[in-house]
Structure 1
Amino acid sequence: MAFQNSPLLMNVGLVVSVLPIGLGSLALFNPHYMFTKMFEFPLPASKADQAVALNNMRSFGIRDIFMGGACLGAWYKGDKEFLGYLLLLGAGAATVDGFAQKGAVGHGQWTKHWMFVPLMAGLGAALMGLI
C-alpha cells in the first residue's frame, strides 16, 4: 500500500517521539512541578516520603526520555517496523500510566495519558503494516 510506504508516517513518528523526551526532561529536572502540577498528585507530608515521591518522578522522567530516544533511533535508522513496534509499546505505557493517574487522583487519565493511545497505536500499527 502507498500509505504504508509514505515518508509522512515516519515523520509523524519523529514528532510523536519528541513529546516523551520533553515531558521526561521536565520530570527529570523539575520533578516537583510534574508531580504536583502536571499530574496533580498530592505531595506526601513527610520529607522522607516527599524524597521518595520526587525521585520516583525522576525515574518516570528517564523512562520517558529512553522511550522517546529509542523511537528517535529507529526513525534515524529508517526502521519503520521497529519504530512502529516501539510506538505500540509506548501506547501500552500510556495506557498503564492513565490507570495510575486515575487511581492516584481520580481524574486526568484522558487528557494526560489516554488521548495519546489511539495516535500511538494507530501510527505504530500503520508503520508495522498491520493496517
Structure 2
Amino acid sequence: MVWLGVPLLLAGTILLFATDLDVAGAVLMTLGAVSAVAGILRLRRRARGRARDRSAVEAYYRTSTGKIAAMIAAVVYIVSPIDLIPDPLLPVGIVDDATALTWLVIAFSQEAARRRRSRQA
C-alpha cells in the first residue's frame, strides 16, 4: 500500500504546484496520503499477528513504534499546508517537502529490506 501511496502523493504534489489542475492534485495527494498511512500502519499490525507464534518471534523483524510515528508525521507534513519554509518561495520552499518525501521512501525501503532478510533467515 505504501508503494502505491508514495507515487500518488508525488503525482498529486506535482499536479498541485506545477499545473492548473488543483483539484486533481489535491485528490491524488489525499488518496496517496491515505494509502501511505494505511500501509505504514499495516507494518505494525502484521508484526503483532506474527508475534503470537513463539517460533516466529525471533525470525520476524518488527518495525518500531517510533519509526512508524515518524513515517506518518512525514506524510502529514508533506500534505499539510503548514511548512517550515513556505512553498511560494520557489524552489527553496519545496525542498523541505522533497526532503520529507525522500526520507519516507528511504525509510520504507529499509523496512522492506529488513523484513525480506528476516523472512529468509
Report the TM-score when normalising by structure 1.
Answer: 0.43
TM-score of the superposed pair, with normalisation by structure 2: 0.46
